[in-house]
Chain A
């Protein structure tokens, strides 16, 4: 039986064709279950080893003995059958090992993909958080590509730089700012001029891209000017306070003497007129001093402006 099968196998090898898998298995004396198990290395090996044991037990002892020369008769046929089976079994085993390796690599790849997906999801969440932070910033943040155009900009940057109207304004904004430096620039925004503090910094990674921070410092500058003005006003009011006090003493003496002259004026009309003028002028100065004292106490520049305006008007009308 085995000899007949071996002959058929030799014929099949010679023609290079096999009718079908069942015939192939029959010729090589291997079961279809062996091929079924070829995807399962452990199952396959168990089946193959059992078959080896069975065939080796059937095989005459001298069949494998090279010292005894070539096996003969039934032993030779059984040996050929064993060799054919062994060849197929070994090929299936190696295929199963390779398939197992492929499955292991596929599992590793799947695991790696899962880790990459996880990292991607985390990066997306981080990106969303960063976008949220940028959107919430009152300062403008722009990323510029090496040629100067904006790659991306948050809402504040678009508003401050007017990028929605003209994306090329990004170049205009950074034109006066040195690389990796800071500068204040005045920029027309709508029908107004704004002062912007602009900082340029190179982004790491060697892409040539830059991050640009834009902060509107117009109101800050206004506040600085107002503070300087208030400081000056305080100095003026302090000086006025001292002056009022110093003028008030001689004025009181002057007014007293004018009133004495009025009391002893006699009949000389020039003395009478001079005493009247001195008294009236002294009273006007006294009113002015009182008004100045009030302004100093209030400490407001509007009151001082009003007093100065009134005094100017009075002088104009007095001329």
Chain B
């Protein structure tokens, strides 16, 4: 799995592609890549439409990105959640903590 970044004004969109799982096998690498691509951008959209499975390590990556943006006075919004990913976030109530949108366009608004 890799991360592709697209800049749209002050908001940077990160799209996770190449593999449908964000888990312990690639979490550290994805987190490193994503943080490097975010740089000092305070606001970001993380498009998870390419991810169908996430484990605790993968959720940890999402929490880490969320904290990273907050630390810079910005916001990370998530979009494109598959039913499996959404179910995991709902199970541990992160859907009530994160800002989640249906698609990247709505998230970037």
Residue numbers of B with Cβ under 8 A of A are: 23-24, 53-57, 59-60, 63-64, 66-67, 70, 84, 87-88, 91-94, 96-97
> Which residues of A lie under 8 Å from residue B66 when comparing CB positions?
49
Enumerate 28 A-B pairs (CB-CB under 8 Å) in ascending A order.
A46-B67, A48-B97, A49-B63, A49-B66, A50-B67, A52-B60, A52-B94, A53-B60, A56-B56, A56-B57, A61-B24, A61-B56, A61-B57, A63-B56, A64-B55, A64-B56, A64-B88, A66-B84, A66-B87, A67-B53, A83-B91, A83-B92, A86-B92, A86-B93, A87-B93, A89-B93, A90-B93, A93-B97
> Which residues of A lie under 8 Å from residue B93 when comparing CB positions?
83, 86-87, 89-90
A313 contacts chain B at the CB level, 8 A cutoff: no
Contact check, B67 vs A49: say whether CB atoms are below 8 A apart: yes
Chain A interface mostly helix, strand, loop or mixed? helix
Contact pick for A53, options B23, B55, B63, CB 8 Å:
B63
Q: How large is the interface on A (under 10, 10 to 19, 20 to 34, 35 or more residues)?
A: 20 to 34
> Which residues of A lie under 8 Å from residue B92 when comparing CB positions?
52, 64, 82-83, 86
Residue numbers of A with Cβ under 8 A of B are: 42, 45-46, 48-50, 52-53, 56-57, 59-67, 82-83, 86-87, 89-90, 93-94
Nearest CB in chain A to that of B88: its residue: A64
Top 4 A-B pairs ranked by shortest CB distance?
Answer: A86-B93, A90-B96, A90-B93, A59-B56
Contact check, A64 vs B91: say whether CB atoms are below 8 A apart: yes
Contact check, A56 vs B63: say whether CB atoms are below 8 A apart: yes
* Bound Cα distance from A93 to B92, whole angstroms: 14
> Which residues of B lie under 8 Å from residue A53 when comparing CB positions?
60, 63-64, 67
> Which residues of B lie under 8 Å from residue A90 when comparing CB positions?
93, 96-97
Nearest CB in chain B to that of A94: its residue: B96
CB of B75, distance to nearest CB on chain A (Å)? 11
Contact check, B63 vs A52: say whether CB atoms are below 8 A apart: yes
CB of B62, distance to nearest CB on chain A (Å)? 10
* Bound Cα distance from A24 to B13, whole angstroms: 41
* Bound Cα distance from A86 to B97, whole angstroms: 9
> Which residues of A lie under 8 Å from residue B24 when comparing CB positions?
61
